[in-house]
């Protein structure tokens, strides 16, 4: 088997300006296939802006974005599901009045192909596609261990379970790249450990590359292969979790210290 040596996601010289504010300035990022890649940084560092550009919700002011070798800069966001990119959001984005299984099924729509007549009569290829979609959705329900709540309205569930449903809907899009924006924010320790286990299984069992924004340093250091650190819109460090955690610039960013303070008064 040939190992892919080119990045699955590559962002080159990415900058984003809002009026007179540089939200991101000349950021480079390379995510290799099979990685769990974390983007960290203090509040306001530009993490979600970076995610929004990678998922084509925002165009970069300068720079290019490639996915699997193809330039996707400026593509409409709705086209990304067909390319193999799915994401979750920092704030919950679920259909709260619909059931768990119906929320997950909505993630299948980008891959369903049917004509007007076939949909109206519900026969032939349309029926087969619907049956296959429901089987895949049930498999995701089992994978995420939410069988007992599959028929409940999502709005009646705890916050942690709603986030799990949102993850299931993203998996239903059959992504090659899964982008998770603060997946464990607001979760307790047990829920966080469950999500960490699911992320590892998503990579190992499904072969999906994961990029995540995360404030919980425990999960970042435990499961990430590579970590990129942003501060005030600039990339200040990247490397393995051990390399990043030992970087004085990262310590300074998180503790709010100047570089001279971290270096014992030396400039």
Alpha-carbon distances of 122 from 102, 116, 126, 134, rounded to whole Å: 18, 10, 6, 15
Domains of the chain, each with CATH number or no CATH: 1-84+175-267 (3.40.50.300), 96-174 (no CATH)
The predicted structure's pLDDT at residue 233: 94
**DSSP type of residue 2:** P
pLDDT band at 238 (very low <50, low <70, confident <90, very high): very high
Angle at the Cα of 32 from the Cα atoms of 31 and 36, rounded to 5 degrees = 70
Share of the chain above pLDDT 70, in %: 86
How far is it, in rounded angstroms, from Cα 131 to Cα 117?
Answer: 18
Q: What is the pLDDT of residues 198-217, one digit of tens each?
A: 999 999 999 999 999 998 99
- Burial, 170: exposed, middle or buried (Cβ in 10 Å; 0-12, 13-18, 19+)? buried
Residue 267 has pLDDT above 90, yes or no: no
Banded model confidence at residue 133, pLDDT cuts 50, 70, 90: confident
The whole-number pLDDT of residue 168 equals 95
Pick the range with the lowest mean pLDDT from 42-51, 53-62, 100-109, 172-181.
100-109
| C-beta of residue 89 within 8 angstroms of C-beta of residue 182 | no
Ranges 32-46, 122-136, 144-158, 241-255: which has the least confidence: 122-136
Q: Residue 121: pLDDT above 70?
A: no
Section 136-156 average pLDDT? 94
Mean pLDDT of the chain: 87
Cα(212)–Cα(190) distance, integer angstroms: 19
Q: What is the predicted pLDDT for the residue at 114?
A: 55
What are 155-188's pLDDT values in tens digits? 999 999 999 999 999 999 999 999 999 999 889 9
Q: Hey, which residues does 85 pair with through a beta bridge?
A: 177
Percent of the chain at pLDDT > 90 equals: 68
Residue 210 contacts residue 37 (beta carbons within 8 Å): yes
């Amino acid at each position: 088997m040939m190992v892919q040596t080119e990045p699955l996601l590559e962002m080159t010289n990415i900058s984003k300006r809002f009026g007179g504010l540089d939200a991101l300035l000349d950021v480079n990022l390379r995510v290799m296939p099979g990685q769990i890649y974390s983007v960290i940084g203090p509040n306001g560092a530009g993490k979600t802006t970076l995610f929004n550009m990678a998922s084509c919700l925002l165009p970069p002011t300068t720079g290019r974005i490639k996915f699997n070798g193809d330039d996707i800069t400026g593509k409409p966001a709705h086209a990304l599901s067909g390319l193999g990119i799915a994401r979750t959001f920092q704030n919950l984005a679920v259909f709260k009045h619909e059931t768990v299984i119906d929320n997950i099924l909505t993630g299948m729509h980008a891959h369903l192909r049917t004509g007007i007549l076939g949909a109206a009569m519900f026969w032939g290829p349309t029926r087969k596609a619907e049956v296959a979609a429901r089987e895949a959705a049930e498999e995701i329900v089992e994978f995420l261990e939410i069988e007992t709540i599959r028929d409940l309205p999502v709005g009646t569930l705890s916050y942690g379970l709603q986030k799990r449903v949102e993850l299931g809907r993203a998996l239903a899009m059959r992504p090659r790249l899964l982008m998770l924006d603060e997946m464990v924010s607001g979760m307790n320790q047990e829920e966080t450990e469950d999500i960490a286990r699911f992320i590892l299984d998503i990579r190992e069992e499904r072969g999906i590359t994961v990029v995540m924004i995360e404030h919980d340093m425990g999960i970042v250091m435990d499961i990430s292969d590579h970590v990129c650190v942003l501060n005030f819109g600039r990339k200040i460090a990247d490397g393995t979790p051990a390399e990043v955690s030992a970087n004085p610039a990262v310590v300074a960013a998180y503790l709010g210290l100047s570089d001279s303070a971290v270096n014992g008064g030396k400039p």
